[in-house]
């Protein structure tokens, strides 16, 4: 008999999603745009207090538009976290701008403020900083924002993994000039695929909606003075999003419980450390991760293999962008000698963090990992 699959992070639907989708069918709003899109934007912004939002086809599209709206052009430098998923920096290259990767700090695994400050010595005029809140843990926002303010650089928060996380009581994604969220299939809530660009500035969000619908000028005839994109979210998917948003707090609570369960279980194993929290904030705990002490005979690969034998899905830590063949030509700035992001990548892995995991599933995962260290 094949064992039940235990997932890393899979979609969890509750029923309201289907009702909103049915409503779209009944009213024949099977189109990009529509009442669910407007409502989803309003409801997400009401939840995060983000100001204004534009629902888009992907988080990647939201980053792309944020760069456009920040005036990033060919040859411009953009600072971006190295320890992230490639979607954080691909749009920099779409615009023929130059990513400069910034290393992580150990406290939160996010962009290191010391390295960011150092980056300005070599590249004094970046057009934007893209800051990722990795695995849901808020970055050191006070320090990063202070540096961006001093240098008058636009801050774009990639909160794709951190919807629902807060820093000093305020939602991640609402600190920068722009914030982006993702509703890809494995994120904390999903529309199967989708994203949102948010900003306090209503004009910027209006411009984003314009660019996302092929930049059509306000004329009756089809007239275009700029190149646009087809980046809007469909009314069907926004219906799913509205249903999911109603369950976001519940998803967050379950993710936090999963993290705590692992944390308590692995407190007994000195070689294992959980991914860090930020004491000045609250993480949504999108993925629970561990690192294994240097020199330990158990490697992340051994843990992943052992879990796979139990049909449980785990995953390496994101391979840092400065190590990717496609980004090999770009620079990495570190605070000191050590490359922190590489160390986390080499010693870490993401554990199954699916909110549908039962206590038996959790027990099996914990047993499997623990037995390797016996």
Tell me: does residue 158 bind ligand PLP (CB under 6 A): yes
Least separation in angstroms between residue 66's CB and ligand PLP is: 11
Residue 373: CA atoms inside 13 Å, Cβ hemisphere, count? 20
Nearer to ligand PLP, 60 or 288 (CB): 60
Q: Please report, as residue ranges, which positions from 303 to 342 form the binding site for ligand PLP (by CB under 6 A).
A: none
C-alpha to C-alpha distance for 191 and 248, rounded to whole angstroms: 12
SS3 101: strand
* Of the candidates 237, 242, 128, the residue with the CA atom closest to the CA atom of residue 179: 128
Tell me: does residue 88 bind ligand PLP (CB under 6 A): yes
User: Which one of the spans 26-34, 102-110, 153-161, 336-344 is the region binding ligand PLP (CB under 6 A)?
Assistant: 153-161
Q: Please report, as residue ranges, which positions from 189 to 228 form the binding site for ligand PLP (by CB under 6 A).
A: 195
Tell me: does residue 72 bind ligand PLP (CB under 6 A): no
Contact 307, 346 (CB under 8 A): no
Tell me: does residue 281 bind ligand PLP (CB under 6 A): no
User: Which one of the spans 40-48, 79-87, 149-157, 265-273 is the region binding ligand PLP (CB under 6 A)?
Assistant: 79-87
Indicate which single residue of 59, 164, 320, 352 sits in contact with ligand PLP (rule: CB under 6 A): 59
C-alpha to C-alpha distance for 177 and 146, rounded to whole angstroms: 13
Nearer to ligand PLP, 195 or 300 (CB): 195
| Total binding residues toward ligand PLP, as defined by CB under 6 A | 14
Contact 194, 312 (CB under 8 A): no
Contact 41, 241 (CB under 8 A): no
User: Which one of the spans 56-64, 96-104, 109-117, 218-226 is the region binding ligand PLP (CB under 6 A)?
Assistant: 56-64
C-alpha to C-alpha distance for 273 and 349, rounded to whole angstroms: 11
C-alpha to C-alpha distance for 262 and 239, rounded to whole angstroms: 34
Nearer to ligand PLP, 88 or 108 (CB): 88
Least separation in angstroms between residue 102's CB and ligand PLP is: 14
Tell me: does residue 157 bind ligand PLP (CB under 6 A): no
Q: Is 361 left (phi over 0), alpha (psi -120 to 50) or beta?
A: alpha
3-state helix, strand and coil shares in percent for the chain, rounded to the nearest 5: 40, 15, 45
Indicate which single residue of 82, 182, 275, 284 sits in contact with ligand PLP (rule: CB under 6 A): 182
Tell me: does residue 165 bind ligand PLP (CB under 6 A): no
The dihedrals phi and psi of 139, each to the nearest 5 degrees, come to -75, 175
Indicate which single residue of 161, 342, 354, 361 sits in contact with ligand PLP (rule: CB under 6 A): 161
- DSSP secondary structure letter of residue 230: B
Q: Where on the chain is the footprint of ligand PLP (CB under 6 A)?
A: 58-60, 84-85, 87-88, 132, 158, 160-161, 182, 184, 195
């Amino acid at each position: 008999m094949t064992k039940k699959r235990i997932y890393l992070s899979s979609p969890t639907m509750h029923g309201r999603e289907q009702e909103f989708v049915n409503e779209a069918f009944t009213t024949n709003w099977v189109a990009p745009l529509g009442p669910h899109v407007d409502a989803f934007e309003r409801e997400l912004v009401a939840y995060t207090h983000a100001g204004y939002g534009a629902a888009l086809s992907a988080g990647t599209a939201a980053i792309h538009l944020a760069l456009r709206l920040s005036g990033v052009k060919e040859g411009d430098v953009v600072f971006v976290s190295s320890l992230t998923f490639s979607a954080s920096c691909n749009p920099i290259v779409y615009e023929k701008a130059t990513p400069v990767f910034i290393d992580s700090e150990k406290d939160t695994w996010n962009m290191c403020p010391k390295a960011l400050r150092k980056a300005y010595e070599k590249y004094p005029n970046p057009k934007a900083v893209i800051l990722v809140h990795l695995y849901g843990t808020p970055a050191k926002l006070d320090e990063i924002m202070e540096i961006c303010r001093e240098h008058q650089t636009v801050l774009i928060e990639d909160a794709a993994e951190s919807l629902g996380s807060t820093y000093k009581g305020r939602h991640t994604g609402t600190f920068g000039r722009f914030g982006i969220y993702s509703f890809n299939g494995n994120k904390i809530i999903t529309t199967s695929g989708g994203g949102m660009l948010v900003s306090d500035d209503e004009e910027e969000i209006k411009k984003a909606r314009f660019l996302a619908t092929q930049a059509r000028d306000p004329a009756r005839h089809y007239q275009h003075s700029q190149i646009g994109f087809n980046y809007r979210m469909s009314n069907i998917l926004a219906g799913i999003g509205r249903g999911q948003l109603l369950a976001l707090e519940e998803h967050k609570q379950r993710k936090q419980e999963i993290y705590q369960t692992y944390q308590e279980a692995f407190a007994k194993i000195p070689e294992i450390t959980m991914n860090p929290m930020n004491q000045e904030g609250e993480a949504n705990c999108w993925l629970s991760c561990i690192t294994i002490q240097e020199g330990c005979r158990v490697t992340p690969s051994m843990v992943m293999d052992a879990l796979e034998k139990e049909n449980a899905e785990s995953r390496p830590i994101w391979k840092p962008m400065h190590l990717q063949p496609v980004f090999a030509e770009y620079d990495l700035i570190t605070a000191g000698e050590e490359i922190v992001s590489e160390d986390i990548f080499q010693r870490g892995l993401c554990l199954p963090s699916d909110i549908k995991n039962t206590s038996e599933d959790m027990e099996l995962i914990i047993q499997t990992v623990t037995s390797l260290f016996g």
